[in-house]
Structure 1
């Protein structure tokens, strides 16, 4: 075949992967609309329940599951309140109370507060952003299944009386093996790591969805505030969740492997736990608040009949709140004996955080004041949220003053503050949001009369239950006590708190019954029953499986109010837009310009997310039961499921050109640029997803290195105590790993030139060099005179290098898969996104080693020389 003919064949092959998207209308009830419904509608019955990747169903499952956990946590709270209603009560034993106390906190903070907000975001984001689904639908399903299994895992020990019992903060040494020899803390530790996987996976999905799945014209100044809030907390989760996951895993190692991270007798540091925990836990306060603030910011204007006042200021205050939130974790540690300069700095930063919060409060008040409020049930919840926000915020600012914090730190005043900021600021927006978007969820309206009754019971019960806790705290009642003697002055406030708690429980039950009954018998809702401005209200209630028959073009922040807000100017195109009907397709946009970038092929329903979540949970169950065989078998099953998930569905030679449409919708004469079809474009969605994963993995290694230098700074012993790592061997392994990265990069570059065979052998060389690095690392481990349980330094050295070695092994598996796919002909010059994605991960592993080499090898060598 001639060179010219060969070039022509390649060009034809490339054209088959590009398509000019049609632009026009799809009338409701037309053949095209019916075909679109068939394409996107999944199976019914139990198979469909397990395999679905529909973001709307997953979002509703999050909300319902989180609400069930809310009810369970509420029952635990009521049992504790019965115990504290009177002095010297004996309803619960101290151990039973400790387990209820811990599981109540774990449930409300980790199993209710964030998951319920994730449910809102999962359901609403594609509808608000003008997309057909999230960026990674199967990853979305995996996030839910792991969350569900993590919740079951945490509760599996409850019936046996072995539930976590050291408080949700789980301070060491109380939670160490010396003081808690049962499985209680192991359940909590492994369950939190499992839950962290779900949170991280969900955060990656949200970040990439915003970057890649917005409607054309959806610029950052047109995003709903709930999107700003969820995006901000998603970035925060990528950076913060590794801290608490690492802390719990290190504690599990202390308890099961004999390491000494928190063991005082072996020079371990209990304060390291507090640093790692609060580096996560303080940003987490805003993680469960900012999306709720977004719900209010987006829904409150609907009932005020005007746009949100100071939209840009509220959006920026959302971001600023989280940024400052990362800097104030030490205000939870004011009583631990830290330096006065640190007290002053973090106290000032804690006061500073009130500024962005105040911006949002004034914006909400101004929106109500300058509007024409309609006193519906959602408005009542949103308006009362502002009051809860102010009360909780003011009590928090009080504890930013160090002398006052020393007085209030371990009292019920802090418990009151915690419930106002974590429960009040969350529950009221959630209940209002459920009522507001209930037509979108079910196609029906909730009963307004019963809704108002439920609201007033909840409002009175909440404040009656939690405000007196401030008084108890000021009277000196300590936290975490299971009973108290008579005559302390706490009797009346505790009795009122118990009465209010039961009243709150009744209100929550009335709300739940109203929702259940209304879902079946409520009034049928029109598409936009509230006359709301958001893009989601342009769709029927409930939305069809495909969301948008044509992908809209947005020209304003309030598509449904454009006619009343501006008499002239450009209008959003909601009925005429991009037609993508050849299978499950959505439009991907450039992350920064927002211009159409690719026609994305969305995945069908799949079993893999469920089984990957199940096998992952079984892996952790094997670790809990200390069964190596079960752990390894479940881990291998997880790996096999993940490989099957990632495996390309068809080779390059088997790909078919797009099928012609069966019918002809009404089309516009406008011509559109041809777009690549599939995971393509300048950077694929998978590339952005792995980049987000790299961010969270970099955070994990950052916290590990922080633990190393923190422990070094606190010890009075020689560092390293013996057998300093040999810098020559470390330098050699570093050179091998960097060289492996170079060959992986050369393989990807060679493949872009359609040179398949050289690309394959270059990848094989990269794999062999990676294996050589593993061999050098294992040899170095073998030659050391100490092991992981010898002393604190040994624990840190083996853990840091062990974590990295695990990433290297995962990277080698990825490189092997890439080499296999090259050999099977899955890639060519146009279709090689997995090469860039795998290369990104491998290069990250190499860069991390440079930091580890500098910290563990170069720094001790330099210190010994000086």
Structure 2
């Protein structure tokens, strides 16, 4: 098949330059690479914390870490993976791809774009510096419910630094979200109507609107908590007239949309990868686009299903139970459309496709366990057990991380000009896939057997020790898979095959320019006539060649 090539290649590599040029850059591609690199460093740090936790839980009565240290580990692990890894990772990938996919030369506000990265970096540094604070790091969970996070129970400075860190990261995300919205609305290529933009861009659009709506709410909750701790107020202290449940409402009004802030970009990646490696158009483009909007809307109507056990009125439990089940409908639309796209397609099982199919399989398992948790009588029985831990990781890890690796392997040639090693990539996939299921599937059984979450040790009760040991072994296998990725990156950087401009025969506009793209992205653009402009261009070139 004919490949659509740009008019002229750009010979100078924009990635080269002194360190100061990277520190002061406003180029969206460089900023995106900084985001990706930093978020992957935090991913590694969060993974190390998880390994320490699993080492402590491998056997009953283990004393590898103290109870206070364990509480710090699970608090910073959860916060790191959500706020410092996956949300900034999507910001980095979107920084690189959104202008390329819509035919723009840069983001709408380049300096604001750079500022958002530095807020994120400093927020992450503050988070990990809190381990050195008086009293250690925060240890009240990644959600920091009062009264556990109030001064009486968390007297050290680590909790205050945790709040400051999240404020900095929230500012970063808010600035980035506004920038994405302005870029997508105002800088699309000629002919690119809303029904012609790539599905990844659709997910970034909804992701950005969700951030703009919900970040101020969590900002208010964290500010009130900081005032309780430092200014003598009592917003969340019941004995002084406050209301601890108010914090939970503020947190989860942000927290549940945050799940879809994490998942929607991954769904966008899957919607780009599956049709390319099925050699078919995406099945139901409009249905997937509108289901993305529906998920964003419904995600703000289900937050209290995290609070079924706090004593809400019965009619509220029923409302949030039903709304939580309804949100499964647009998600199901996406899954069935992805499956329909592969039906009778010419499937190519390269590494990006493996990660995409792994996402679909594991995210479906996580969604099914979520349907059970959405029924509040079931939730009352398993809340705060390892069943919830298993569900959360099947949704967030299998969704976000599998989607992230699908995106990295798919777009790495475009970003860096070299193709990641396929053998190492496939070995990594299978190690992570097997290790993930060994780690988290047994935790469903642990939860149903009654093992509570957030405990640093346990007695030899039934199969507790056996399932925990299997889970710890799985985490080690998964770690080997993640390490293979970093080996792959080093190997590819040294000896990797140079990428052509369009190595996968992609559909979207980023494959029209060079690999990596020049500073100005494009010499010229084809007129956009569909959501698959590169396929249209290849067809026109083939027709011209046959004429």
Please report the TM-score for the alignment, with normalisation by the length of structure 1.
0.61
1:109 to 66, 73, 82: 82
Structure 1 CA distance, aligned partners of 2:360 and 2:292? 15
Structure 2 CA distance, aligned partners of 1:318 and 1:463? 28
2:49 to 68, 71, 76: 76
SS at match of 2:374: coil
Q: Is contact 2:61-2:459 (8 Å) kept? A: yes
1:545 to 519, 528, 531: 519
1:226 to 182, 200, 204: 200
Please report the TM-score for the alignment, with normalisation by the length of structure 2.
0.96
For the aligned residue pairs, the C-alpha RMSD in angstroms reads: 1.9
Give the equivalent residue in structure 1 for 2:363: 389
Give the equivalent residue in structure 1 for 2:156: 182
Query: Which of these two proteins has the greater Rg computed from alpha carbons?
Result: 1
Give the equivalent residue in structure 1 for 2:337: 363
Q: Is contact 2:130-2:162 (8 Å) kept? A: no
User: CA 1:251 to 1:167, structure 2 compared with 1: closer, same or farther past 3 Å?
Assistant: same
Give the equivalent residue in structure 2 for 1:279: 253
Give the equivalent residue in structure 2 for 1:779: none
Give the equivalent residue in structure 1 for 2:321: 347
Structure 1 CA distance, aligned partners of 2:494 and 2:178? 35
* Structure 1 residue 96: Cα displacement: 0.3
1:208 pairs with 2:182: yes
Give the equivalent residue in structure 2 for 1:67: 40
Structure 1 CA distance, aligned partners of 2:332 and 2:256? 19
* Structure 1 residue 46: Cα displacement: 2.3
Q: Is contact 2:71-2:140 (8 Å) kept? A: yes
Give the equivalent residue in structure 1 for 2:26: 53
Structure 2 CA distance, aligned partners of 1:516 and 1:559? 33
Give the equivalent residue in structure 2 for 1:535: 509
Give the equivalent residue in structure 1 for 2:60: 87
SS at match of 2:486: helix
Ranges in structure 1 where 5+ consecutive residues have no aligned partner: 1-25, 571-866
Give the equivalent residue in structure 2 for 1:581: none
* Structure 1 residue 47: Cα displacement: 2.1
Structure 2 CA distance, aligned partners of 1:158 and 1:254? 22
* Structure 1 residue 44: Cα displacement: 2.6
Q: Is contact 2:140-2:148 (8 Å) kept? A: yes
Give the equivalent residue in structure 2 for 1:244: 218
SS at match of 1:399: helix
User: CA 1:218 to 1:49, structure 2 compared with 1: closer, same or farther past 3 Å?
Assistant: same
Structure 2 CA distance, aligned partners of 1:42 and 1:443? 10
**Runs of 4+ displaced beyond 4 Å:** 563-570
Structure 2 CA distance, aligned partners of 1:164 and 1:494? 25
* Structure 1 residue 487: Cα displacement: 2.4
* Structure 1 residue 429: Cα displacement: 1.2
Q: Is contact 1:130-1:552 (8 Å) kept? A: no
* Structure 1 residue 43: Cα displacement: 8.8
Give the equivalent residue in structure 2 for 1:465: 439
* Structure 1 residue 461: Cα displacement: 0.5
User: CA 1:133 to 1:495, structure 2 compared with 1: closer, same or farther past 3 Å?
Assistant: same
The 5 A counterparts of 1:649-660 are: none
Q: Is contact 1:398-1:405 (8 Å) kept? A: yes
Give the equivalent residue in structure 1 for 2:294: 320
Q: Is contact 1:233-1:287 (8 Å) kept? A: yes
SS at match of 2:64: coil
Ranges in structure 2 where 5+ consecutive residues have no aligned partner: 1-5
Question: What do the CA deviations read for 1:690-717 (whole angstroms, capped 9, x no partner)?
Answer: xxxxxxxxxxxxxxxxxxxxxxxxxxxx
1:400 pairs with 2:374: yes
Structure 1 CA distance, aligned partners of 2:526 and 2:75? 48
Give the equivalent residue in structure 1 for 2:450: 476
User: CA 1:155 to 1:373, structure 2 compared with 1: closer, same or farther past 3 Å?
Assistant: same
Q: Is contact 2:359-2:402 (8 Å) kept? A: yes
Structure 1 CA distance, aligned partners of 2:483 and 2:542? 48
1:443 pairs with 2:423: no
* Structure 1 residue 554: Cα displacement: 1.3
